Every structure is written in C-alpha cells, then in structure tokens.
A and B are shown apart, each in its own frame.
Chain A
Amino acid sequence: DSGVTQTPKHLITATGQRVTLRCSPRSGDLSVYWYQQSLDQGLQFLIQYYNGEERAKGNILERFSAQQFPDLHSELNLSSLELGDSALYFCASSVDGQPGNTIYFGEGSWLTVV
C-alpha cells in the first residue's frame, strides 16, 4: 500500500459526460501528480500540483482540468468525454515535488467511456 488513495476505482460513463476523479496523497506529501495510462499512448504525465498551486503541465487536454485543495487532496475533472479518454488514471504524490523525490502511485482509477 503506497498510501495514495484514489476514488473511484472503476467508472463507466457515456461519451459527452463529465467525471471527477479524486486523490488523497500520502500523509505528509505536498505534491500531487496525475498520469494517464492508455494502450496507445502508454504512461503520460498530465499535471503536477504543489501545495495547492500548479507546478508543471504535461500532455493534458483542454477538456481536462485539475486542482489541489487546501487539505492537499486533488481532483481531476474530465469533461466532454470521448471514447479515446478510456484509460487508467493514476494519481501519485511526493514529499515536496523536487527533482529526485520518489513518486508513489495510487492504485489508479479505471475510466471506461462507452
């Protein structure tokens, strides 16, 4: 158990809909990351937050947004869903988001868009 908690574990939704994925980082970790794992794209970095502020942005679509709240939990919002958004979405956390920090991953949220 990495200490990173993600909900829901599985989600099935229709095209065009909006979903929210939730993440609680490990106790004491200030930085949260979101990654997407799909068959065609592999593991892709989406976005990183540190102590409530956006730190780095990767290949995140404009239809997707994220935030980190004062209690350090984070949410990834996916809207206008398309079939291609079906993937495993990982949340991860590290102590302070500095280079070299070990990044611990949650169990992921399986999103299926039908």
Chain B
Amino acid sequence: AQTVTQSQPEMSVQEAETVTLSCTYDTSENNYYLFWYKQPPSRQMILVIRQEAYKQQNATENRFSVNFQKAAKSFSLKISDSQLGDTAMYFCAFMTARGSSNTGKLIFGQGTTLQVKP
C-alpha cells in the first residue's frame, strides 16, 4: 500500500524568505501523480501544485515549485518570497495512475503547518 510521509509537523519562515517542505512516499508503481494542497485557517483544501511522475521536469506555479526526485521517492515543495497569506497547513498527496478501483483516491500525508512571520 502506498504511504505518504511529511516529517516536519511545523515550520516557520520570515516573510519574503524561501522555505522548503519535505514529503516522501512509498510505492511500487512507476506511474502516479503527486500533489500539494494548502489548507489555510478557513479549512478549505486548495490545490497548490501537481506533478506527473512520468515527467522529469519539476512543476512550477508562480512562487511555488517542487523538487521531484523519483528514485528517492521525494517530493518537496519550495515556496519563494513567502507571504503572510501562505500561512496554512500543507498536505502532500499521492494518486495512483492505474487500477480502476483506485481511481481518484488521494492518499495524504500528515501535513506540515507553516507559519509565515512578518
């Protein structure tokens, strides 16, 4: 069974600085998808970024980028120029790319609470 591990329960960063959140996963599959979701105090889950395992290029969305290391099964999120609005819990998630019974099932890590300080 696939598992997702976020080893940093809490992190903090000064406004305008860069922070990296770690995520590792365990799977025997070759094709899959990885996601980072943000959950601000409002509790809504917001998609930050997604990565397809068969693509070697790291995904980027504005100030958010990932470092996808497939062999190491690592998927870290880098937030550049941190803003106060980035304060939230961040979840790493895995989705298999095969098996109709697993379609759409996101497996989440435990989350990392990020505090951006002024």
Contacts and interface: CB of A to CB of B under 8 A. Distances in A.
Interface of A: 2, 31, 33, 35, 42-43, 45, 48, 50, 55-56, 58, 88, 90, 92, 94, 97-108, 110
Contact of A94 (B100, B101, B104): B104
A108 B95 contact: no
Which of A35, A43, A97, A99 has the largest number of chain B CB atoms within 10 A? A99
Nearest to A35: B106
Contacts of A98: 103-104
7 contacts: A33-B106, A92-B45, A99-B98, A103-B104, A106-B44, A107-B42, A108-B45
Interface in B77-118: 91, 95-98, 100-108, 110-111
Contacts of B106: 33, 35, 43, 45, 103
B47 interface: yes
A50 B100 CA distance: 11
Given A56-B105, A97-B103, A102 B47 contact: yes
Given A42-B111, A99-B95, A56 B102 contact: yes
A42 B108 contact: yes
A99 B33 contact: yes
B interface residue count range (under 10 / 10 to 19 / 20 to 34 / 35 or more): 20 to 34
Given A35-B106, A99-B98, A99-B103, 8 more contacts: A45-B105, A45-B107, A55-B103, A56-B101, A90-B45, A94-B104, A103-B47, A106-B44
B104 A33 contact: yes
A2 B45 CA distance: 9
A107 B102 contact: no
B33 A105 contact: no
Contacts of A88: 43
A35 B95 CA distance: 14
Contacts of B101: 56
Contact of A104 (B47, B96, B100): B47
B44 A100 contact: no
Given A100-B97, A104-B47, A107-B43, A42 B105 contact: no
